[in-house]
Structure 1
């Protein structure tokens, strides 16, 4: 049993003695989220419009549901395209086999809503 919190070189400690984050930009961001209060997490999620209904059929949300002229205008502002892909696999009898794809789609949709606030939404493709 670990009695003291020994932090390996290049890692950041947490209040949990066996959990560390790398001391780099990604690790510091992960630690910030890990240490965030429920209110701080709610505020972050609100910035991304989460939770929200699925947008697969929402006009303008995906390239396939956006008029061609608007796709061209969007691409001038932001040429990044996210293609949400997840495994199709058995997750037990209680979940659909598309769970991974549904989760990543919701994340990408949140990023699209967040970037749309700045006037340069990312593009999504099915």
Structure 2
């Protein structure tokens, strides 16, 4: 995980420097995941407003480590489409679903997790 206090540019640099430390587990190819979604690309040259954001959904399998020292993640996939993310979450044996919101004018993200018992997003 990238430290929260980093700017967006610093976070990208940090991730590139530590990419070999990510435990991906066994990867699974998701059909059409390598296709560009032209409807969700933004090439506007207008100034962004604070409400402009990009949302990605991440789902996979989280396995807690012994004594609360962290978790191992496997079979992780990301989607820009909430419906597709829920399909993968419910039908592919995954045990977590995150909604990550990226704001265009801010280096910070908001991560929420799906509470399956309450059927709502929590932060």
Query: Could you tell me the TM-score, scaled by structure 1's length?
Result: 0.23
Structure in which a larger fraction of residues adopt strand: 2
**Structure whose alpha-carbon radius of gyration is higher:** 1
Q: Which has the higher contact order (CA 8 A, sep 6+)?
A: 2
TM-score (norm. length: structure 2): 0.23
